[in-house]
Structure 1
Amino acid sequence: MKSVEERYTRGVKIQAVIRFVVCLVITVISLFPIYIILINATRDSGDIISQGISLLPGGNLIKNFETLNDPSAADGAFVSAFNLFYGYANSLIISIGATVCAVFFSGLTAYGLVVYDFKLKKAATTFILAVMMVPMQVVSTGFLQFMVQIKLYDNFIPLIVPAVAAPAVVFFMLQYMKSSFPLEIVEAARIDGSGEFMTFIRIALPILKPAFAVQAIFQFVANWNNYYTPSMLLLSNKIEQRTMPMMVAGVLGNDKIVDFGVKYLVVILSILPIVVIYLCLSKFIVKGVALGAVKG
């Protein structure tokens, strides 16, 4: 008979294989659509229509990019709907600005709720959770009217500044700090004469870097993909002010544009910054999970 230790070891190996297979299947399912879009961006529109899905890249990537920037292509429909420089610049300004505001001020709010004790602490936390349940669409009409009244429409300010109030980020940072932030180090900093704000900047921020990085990824992706709010506030709809999602919608929804290779190329160009940001910050997700597990 096999010993208990041998059976246990075999069971652990089987579980490891099953987990690996499941993760591999999920990874393939997640990446396959992106791979197909990338492949189609290199193909001719006629091949996409006649042959359907292909796993091999084509040779039309440069031609598709030239067509995208050709003023005469599709009667000028491409250049009137899409401009790579303005799309990247506008979306980066909004996404980076909103991400910095959301992550920094939400972290500061969560820090105050964790470190300080005051009478309305529980009420403030409950209020933040309640606001988190309210979708943007519910207050969008009133928000638009308010922005029009104070003459802040048709610019990026109302797309960046309101990010300082991000209840979902506050909630995440609050839970993270409760499990992984040592309050003793704050007391030690106070004894050494450090001010409250500088304690947050010099001590809390480095410790909470994994949590900030995780939320930075989520906030950047959310703001980069945001079509609803910019299309509502940028009323003039000038190409110099359009974000990348607005330009993608303009290309995909234009009846004059029938070149599918170029359409797929536009989609790929729109998601490149998201991939870069994720690759740069994803390591902090693992660090954050590991830190929380050790602390727990």
Structure 2
Amino acid sequence: MKEICIVEFPSNLGLKEPQPGKEPGVKKLPDWLWKHNLHKAISHNILRLDPPKYSNSKDVETQILNANSLVEYAREQAYLINNLLTQNKFPFILGGDCSILLGTAIALKQKGNYGLFYLDGHTDFMNISLSETGGVGGMAASIVTGNGHEKLTNILNLSPYIKEENLWCVGNREYDDEYENEIRNSSATYLSLHELRKQGISNSVKSFLQEVETKNLDGFWLHIDVDVLNDSIMPCVDSRTPDGLTYNEFNELTSYLFQGNKLSGLEITILDPDLDTTGEYTKNFVTNLTSTFNTFKNTIN
């Protein structure tokens, strides 16, 4: 069994301000999860990398929020993650918003050819032309597969960090043709929430794991945006949408992935402590996630 290392990336660089002069609260997530006993349940081995200062202004060249800071942070993240993977450790990453994926994806590219299981209530596979905010959080899956401005897609001349055909985008429920066509027209595998339920969770994950083996990938990464969960059990996110996975569905899905023998690490994003003042939603999330993970963590090799 690999040694599990919790890595804290408390970044909000990929999101717009929720209101003028107020930073997105998701940067408080690692501390909030610590308060609700996630660390105690998972590992006492903890690393932290604080991000550059947040700004709500767009980069002139790319029209993206915090573009230069994101590049700087991604390089530092990649160095840290690369070291952990070299030591054969399992990074259990706590964000932050979805832009934290950039650093991880760079590290994975430096190590080999990896798959990405992107479990999210949105595809995050969007061109800047469709983005109203310029926030990388809504474009992360697209950027790491080489789509977009090279300032972000080609850091360290490593584009694409993840090959588009090795991306599985699962759980989207923002049903809009213009939005969905971006991923439909790519070579990624796209399973909306509707399609996931139609095909069945077990069949869907087995297909992904089989593909990882067939392609002889060096491993795969699991991205969990908590907004993939049903809005009634996880409303403390920046972009709420009706429906979503129940905890039974989420636990079933993650249990299959945790048993995948090429799982290299995972990350958790988007839960905003400012939107869960009593902690009730966070507490339930921690209970479900840690229970499922700890059931299967001995299979991580």
Specify which structure has the higher proportion of strand: 2
For Structure 1 versus Structure 2, the TM-score category normalised by the shorter chain is under 0.3
Q: What is the TM-score when the length of structure 2 is the normalising length? A: 0.23
Specify which structure has the higher proportion of helix: 1
User: Greater relative contact order (Cα 8 A, min sep 6): structure 1 or 2?
Assistant: 1
